[in-house]
Amino acid sequence: MSLKEITMYSADWCGDCRRSKRLMDELNVAYTIIDVDADLSAAEKVKEINGGAQSIPVIVFGDGTHMTEPSDIDLKAKLTALGII
C-alpha cells in the first residue's frame, strides 16, 4: 500500500460515510470504497479493526493507521499530516 493510498469501509445508508466521502471529494483525494453490505469479509475486517465494533466509516491510510467515524476536522488534519492535501 502506497503512503497516499486510502481505503474506506463504508455503506450507502451511513451518514458519516457520506460526509467523509464528500470531504475527500471536495479535497480531490483519491480513495477506494469497500461496501460492507456487499462484502461480508469487509464487514468482518471492520469488526477486527474496531475491536468488535461495527462502526463505519473506517478509513485506512497507507501508513497503516486508521480512523473510525472521524470528524471532518480530524480527517482533514490526518490528510494534511500525511501530505495528501
pLDDT tens, residue by residue, 16-53: 999 999 999 999 999 999 999 999 999 999 999 999 99
Per-residue pLDDT tens over the stretch 2-11: 778 999 999 9
DSSP class of 27: T
User: Would you say 12 and 21 are in contact if contact means Cβ atoms under 8 Å apart?
Assistant: no
Task: Supply the pTM of this predicted model.
Answer: 0.95
Superfamily of domain 6-81: Glutaredoxin (3.40.30.10)
Q: Where are the domains of the chain?
A: 6-81
The reported pLDDT for the residue numbered 55 is 97
**Which is nearest to 76 in space by CA: 43, 29, 10, 40?**
29
Give the chain's mean pLDDT.
Answer: 96
